[in-house]
Amino acid sequence: MAIADAHTVRGGLRTLWRMTQIAFLTPWQVIFAVGATLIAAIMQLIIPRLLGHAIDQTQLLAAGADAATSALWDTAWLVLAVSAVRGIFTTFQNYFSEAVNHHTGVELRLRYYEQVQRLSFGFHDSVHSGDLITLGLLDLDGARQFFSTGLVRLVLLTVLIGFGGTMLLRTDWVLGLMALSFVPVVGWFSSVSQLRLRLTWRDLQDRMSVLSRVMEENLAGIRVVRAFSAGAHEMAKFDAASANALGLAHERVDIRVRSTGIMTLSFLAAMGLVLWVGGEKVMAGHMSVGTLTSFLTFMTILQMPVRQLGLLVNSFARTSTCGARVFAFLDLQPAICDRAGAKDLVLADAALRFEAVDFAYPNAPDAKVISGLSFSAIRGETIGIIGPPGSGKSTLAHLIPRFYDVTGGRITVDGQDIRGVTLASLRRAVSVVAQDVFLFTTSLENNIAYAEPLAEDEAIEEVSSDAQIHSHIAGLKSGYRTVVGERGSSLSGGQRQRMAIARSLLPRPSVLIFDDSTAAVDANTEARIRMALVEGAGDRVTLIIAHRLNSLLHADRILFLDKGRVIEQGSHAELLALGGRYRALYDLQTSGADREGL
């Protein structure tokens, strides 16, 4: 247990140190913030002394001392000047502290978003997007405030409590101890309450993460919800998640109110004790009224900083927690990345080869999706791939651009193992047109030119024509500058698939993979797309994964997959003559029958 605790402490200190390093990426703003904090704290310590001195001067004025009037005015102007200086430097402190916070937030957000782009498909398969959003918003925001709520506050409290308490004890150690008696009580209850709030904050983050997931899924599937009139069901889910978060929020309010009441009571009790004992000293002539006023003024000034001890503890604890979660994410190593010394893919014949390839997903390492798969394709060749659901067709498509790495065997392009070349060069050479199409909320032109932002209009129109989407776009009021809705909701399924085909054609890949990407396209349009693609097929290897045999009839070779293995291969005519699984599927589709297992 002690070892675990020591490990936790070391991990927390490491997190705080990393956050401090990020804050010091803007060193001048850090220096200005800390310097302004020191000056503001010193000015704040001077004010009680000046006020006490002014009270004593007022006593002399009442006794008829002529010089006291001038001295009182001088003190008043000095108090005003010190207060103004304190206010100015407090403003500087707040400004530069917040500036450092925002720069820290920007740096963390950039690192976070870069990491989101770097992490492999396997990671995103296992993590819900709502959890990532919560991490990128709540945790990141909790960590980025460490400089102002932690480091700067530590400097301020050290000066006020340390130097201020020393000044009081040196003036009158008995009255000083009474004046400072509320500090341990307030510090303790403030720290305990803030730690409890931090623990409940972690729980609240988890509950808010659930709420985010419910909301995100509902928004993503709003059309399904409306289609099945499931609004009441979704509302009940959201209401339950909201009520769960609200109950914890009420508990947090209760913790805060009770601790505030105890802290206020202890402060007022200490102040009453100082008034009582200090008043006795004043009446006995052992202390001036001004000195007593200094004690009371300093107690009033010290009340808020002492209460902030809990906030300071909470800041360190919150940063340790939130920062640890953020850094744990940032420190993740992508499962798919460039190897040391990886070179760009060098293309000659664009020959694609699978050599005894095995593959199992990371979450099920014992269940092979691909097993001993071997085949090859050369430039200009079109390979059709068909098989029952779960036979590994889409997995095969995802292995070629290294969305996942093979667990056995290897895949080569022109004899180069794809694991030994840079991902950027490989993915420039390989394009996958998936069935599930994602379009960004921007113009049609930008969606098509996503991989080639500087593409000429003529090139965009050419690939759009090949994908049989140009005539539709040209008929729109704003043409290619028409903005599509979220995820392309303003387009039909077939139109979105044709947009995806155009987007994949624009970079002119050496390996083009259609993963059942014409499933929502009617037969006539698919035939026109196929005819248009035949002209450019000589410059690349084309793999077509489909469930409809009509999509594969023109392929040079067709592979029939089952349980990750090639069980039949050949041309359409050869496979029909073979009279095996392919022939049975052909008879099934041409007769319009519906049978499972093929």
Per-residue confidence (pLDDT) for residue 593, from 0 to 100: 42
**What is the C-alpha separation between 568 and 377, in angstroms, rounded?**
16
pLDDT number for residue 120: 79
The ranges assigned to domains in the chain are 2-330, 352-591
Segment 472-498 mean pLDDT = 80
More confident residue, 125 or 348: 348
Percent above pLDDT 70 for the chain: 89
Mean predicted confidence (pLDDT) in 465-479: 87
Confidence of residue 451 (pLDDT cuts 50, 70, 90): confident
Q: What is the pLDDT of residue 226?
A: 74
Asked if residue 490 has pLDDT above 80, the reply is no
Spell out the long-range contacts of 446-452 with Cβ–Cβ below 8 A and sequence spacing 24 or more.
Answer: 447/484, 447/488, 447/499, 447/503, 448/480, 448/499, 448/502, 448/503, 448/506, 449/503, 449/506, 450/503, 451/503, 451/504, 451/506, 451/507, 452/506, 452/507
pLDDT(180) > 70: yes
* Residue count (the chain): 598
Tell me the two tokens of residue 153. Answer: 């506050």
Alpha-helical (H) ranges within 121-181 are: 121-126, 129-134, 140-144, 146, 153-157, 164-171, 173-179
pLDDT confidence of residue 564:
87
SS (H, E, C) 265-291: HHHHHHHHHHHHHHHHHHHCCCCCHHH
Residue position matching structure tokens 């709502």: 130
Structure tokens at 40: 């503001």
Q: What is the pLDDT of residue 157?
A: 81
Q: Is the pLDDT of residue 482 over 60?
A: yes
Residues of the chain above pLDDT 90, percent: 13
Four-way CATH pick for 352-591: 3.40.50.720, 3.10.450.50, 3.40.50.300, 3.90.1150.10: 3.40.50.300
The sign one gets for the Cα dihedral 111, 114, 118, 119 is positive
Calpha distance 67→353 (Å, rounded): 102
What's the pLDDT at 2?
Answer: 35
What does the pLDDT read at residue 4? 35
pLDDT of 410: 92
d(CA 274, CA 175): 6
**Residue 462: other Cβ atoms inside 10 A:** 18
* pLDDT of 63 higher than 60: no
Q: What pLDDT does 596 receive?
A: 42
Q: According to the model, what pLDDT value does residue 148 have? A: 86
The stretch 276-303 carries a mean pLDDT of 75
DSSP-derived 3-state class of residue 510: coil
What distance in Å separates the CA atoms of residue 210 and residue 245, rounded to the nearest whole number?
A: 9
Residues 333-378: tens digit of each pLDDT: 888 888 888 899 888 888 899 999 999 887 777 788 999 899 999 8
CB 358 within 8 A of CB 368: yes
pLDDT at 60: 58
Predicted pLDDT at 143: 85
Full strand arrangement of the beta sheet holding 382-386: 430-433, 511-515, 541-545, 382-386, 557-562, 565-570
CA 519: distance to chain centroid?
A: 34
At 359 the three-state DSSP class reads strand
Q: What is the mean pLDDT of residues 225-234?
A: 75
Longest CA pairwise span in the chain (Å): 126
User: Does residue 167 surpass a pLDDT of 70?
Assistant: yes
Nearest to 96 by CA among 145, 153, 36: 36
Question: What are the angstrom distances between the C-alpha of 106 and each of 34, 82, 99, 102, 324?
Answer: 21, 36, 11, 6, 18
Q: Is the full-model pTM beyond 0.75?
A: no
Q: Which range among 32-41, 54-63, 340-349 has the greatest average pLDDT?
A: 32-41
CATH of 2-330, one of 3.10.129.10, 1.20.1560.10, 3.40.50.2300, 1.20.1250.20: 1.20.1560.10
More confident residue, 324 or 122: 324
Q: Residue 592 corresponds to which amino acid?
A: G
CA separation for the pair 213, 197 (Å, rounded): 24
Q: Model confidence at 597, in pLDDT bands (50, 70, 90)?
A: very low
What is the C-alpha separation between 8 and 324, in angstroms, rounded? Answer: 10
Rounded Cα distance, 363 and 122, in Å: 9
Q: What is the pLDDT of residue 7?
A: 40
